[in-house]
Amino acid sequence: MSDQQAQGKGSNQGYTTDQGATFDALVVGAGFAGLYMLHRLRAMGMRVRVYEAGDNVGGTWYWNRYPGARCDAESLAYSYSFSPELEQEWQWSERYASQPEILRYVEHVADRFDLRRDIRFERRVNHAHYDSQNQRWNLSTEQGDTATAPICIMATGCLSVPQLPDIDGLDDFQGARYQASHWPHEGVDFSGLRVGVIGTGSSAIQAIPEIAKQAAQLTVLQRTPNFSVPAQNGPLDPEFAQAFKANYRDHRRYHQRGLSSGFGDLEVVPRERAPMAESALPLSKQEIAEICDTYWNTGGARFMGAIADAFINEEANAKVAAYVHDKIHSIVQDGQTAAALCPTDHPIGTKRICVDTNYYATYNRDNVRLVNLRQTPIEQITATGVQTSQEHIELDALVLATGFDAMTGALLRMDIQGVDGVRLADQWQAGPVSYLGLMVSGFPNLFTVTGPGSPSVLSNMMVSIEQHVDFICDCLEHMRDGQKTTVEPAAAAQAQWVEHVNEVANATLFPKGGSWYLGANVEGKPQVFMPYAAGVGVYREVCEDVVADDYRGFQFG
């Protein structure tokens, strides 16, 4: 165990604030993206400073410590591929890793590659201004650091700005209040308590079965139900893991980088046992059930890959949704509760499908009750609970799992100014624009890892993060070789890319989802489908083609 781990923090011990410090590159965020970025830049001989708001590494996995928090991509696929030694030596214990295990992994990576010494923890960047004359980015933090570098990389995550509900009286509640995305590090014991959960997205769907095991009474306050499929999680069979690791390179190359989502978990269900259909339209209910059962019983988000036209054809989608509705009714004993749990307001998959462990069955417990807020909305939160239009629910603890200002939230929370003081917030007033989700015209040498306009949240984030970091490093090397000092997208190339991203999204059912992919969960946020929906394989080819064509669409100065 390193000294820093012994202190239980990333550790800033002995460090003063930066005052006008000069670096070759500045990185914001020390999650998976920021850490790999730092590792690569350092290998290029750059002097790098990383600022991180948390007191340790891990990003999403540092903050989201709610009970049941778990990755929805399989652990063998949701891991770095850049170091064959790392991928061989790290042993995952479960098919889907829990948050504590992922956090241990990130901390191991930080130590193994000696990354902490260039990271300043508990530093929140508030300004990033481009100085055109000196071609430098000047950053400052809320804690008083100032630093400057020609390159600035935002590794700020896609789901890192929590969204609190705008409910009357929220602050009046006198019981214990918890936020899924800001969970106490020491954990929470709900034994004997009357607990309320607001929200039924992925976070809540993972937390509810765990809280239900402890609480005396759990009331789930649901506004909109979500589709969820079972993870079928369990211990990772060491023999399977070993065999998988023997083919890690092939797996990474073909299943993760080449396929659409990058989840790369096909080998868990061998192809011969994973029936797929091009279209649901000619299939009977029984035939759909036979296909979907395979995926339901073997588990995971690959369920949405079973029927190819489910993402593009409403009728096909409705058939898959009907299968899940039937499943919910077959699991949940109370008919009214089952009906309330069936999503009918969006096509299945157009909001990120949740992957759960015993979520629906949890409603069969005597101590769990679902309140349908569509029928009885919350009127206000009181000192002792929640007042709906029908009743007052007495609570000792209230858990908020109400989502995030996704994809643009973390970037727009900072004051980012490019050439001539143009603010990113103004450029993005009608929704984010970018070239390849990597750069924005007018903001030279500012890179966004998994930014809007790239596959990001529609993919296995590890795959997309590594691809972006590698792209950025290749681009910086290209600049070094060509003695160029600045890069930014041409406005025309950016406009074309934005149009293309929209075209691809509009050919799918995604825009009908009313999801955080669109910004629909944040009042006043422009509704634009933000991720690139063509898949990681296609996107990688586009990026490779851009590079091969002498960085088509980028301007070097």
Point out which residues bind ligand NA7 (CB under 6 A).
159, 165, 167, 180, 198-204, 223-224, 352, 373, 401-404, 516, 521
Q: In what order do the strands lie in the sheet with 392-394?
A: 378-381, 385-388, 392-394
Closer CB to ligand NA7, 10 or 519, in the complex? 519
Closer CB to ligand NA7, 22 or 390, in the complex? 390
* DSSP assignments along 476-488, one per residue: HHHHHHTT---EE
Cβ-based burial of 209 (10 A; exposed 0-12, middle 13-18, buried ≥19): buried
Q: In what order do the strands lie in the sheet with 119-120?
A: 119-120, 48-51, 25-28, 151-154, 446-448
Q: How far is the CB of 202 from ligand NA7 (least distance, A)?
A: 4
Q: How far is the CB of 134 from ligand NA7 (least distance, A)?
A: 39
CA 16 to chain centre: 32
Cβ-based burial of 232 (10 A; exposed 0-12, middle 13-18, buried ≥19): middle
Which residue sits closest to ligand NA7, CB atoms considered? 201
Closer CB to ligand NA7, 148 or 226, in the complex? 226
Cβ-based burial of 169 (10 A; exposed 0-12, middle 13-18, buried ≥19): middle
- The Cα 34–Cα 350 span in angstroms is 29
Q: Say if CB 120 and CB 50 are below 8 A apart.
A: yes
Closer CB to ligand NA7, 164 or 491, in the complex? 164
Closer CB to ligand NA7, 198 or 476, in the complex? 198
Q: How far is the CB of 348 from ligand NA7 (least distance, A)?
A: 14
Q: How far is the CB of 301 from ligand NA7 (least distance, A)?
A: 10
Closer CB to ligand NA7, 23 or 404, in the complex? 404
φ/ψ bin of 102: left (φ > 0), alpha (ψ from -120 to 50), beta (otherwise): alpha
293, two tokens: 């059962």
Q: Say if CB 517 and CB 508 are below 8 A apart.
A: no
Q: How far is the CB of 462 from ligand NA7 (least distance, A)?
A: 14
Closer CB to ligand NA7, 202 or 441, in the complex? 202
Closer CB to ligand NA7, 155 or 167, in the complex? 167
Q: How far is the CB of 1 from ligand NA7 (least distance, A)?
A: 30
* DSSP assignments along 313-340, one per residue: -HHHHHHHHHHHHHHHHHH-SSHHHHHH
* Angle, vertex CA 22, rays to CA 16 and CA 23, nearest 5: 105
Closer CB to ligand NA7, 135 or 390, in the complex? 390
Q: Say if CB 486 and CB 445 are below 8 A apart.
A: yes
Buried b / exposed e over 137-162, threshold 16 CB at 10 Å, is: bbbbbebebebbbbbbbbbbbbbbbb
Q: How far is the CB of 193 from ligand NA7 (least distance, A)?
A: 20
DSSP single-letter state for residue 458: G
Q: How far is the CB of 224 from ligand NA7 (least distance, A)?
A: 3
Q: What is the largest CA-CA distance in the chain?
A: 69
Closer CB to ligand NA7, 219 or 521, in the complex? 521
Q: How far is the CB of 198 from ligand NA7 (least distance, A)?
A: 5
Q: How far is the CB of 181 from ligand NA7 (least distance, A)?
A: 6
Q: What are phi and psi of 371, to 5 degrees?
A: -110, 125
Closer CB to ligand NA7, 38 or 378, in the complex? 378
- The Cα 402–Cα 201 span in angstroms is 7
Q: What are phi and psi of 222, to 5 degrees?
A: -105, 125
Q: How far is the CB of 364 from ligand NA7 (least distance, A)?
A: 21
Closer CB to ligand NA7, 113 or 516, in the complex? 516
- The Cα 365–Cα 218 span in angstroms is 10
Q: How far is the CB of 42 from ligand NA7 (least distance, A)?
A: 30
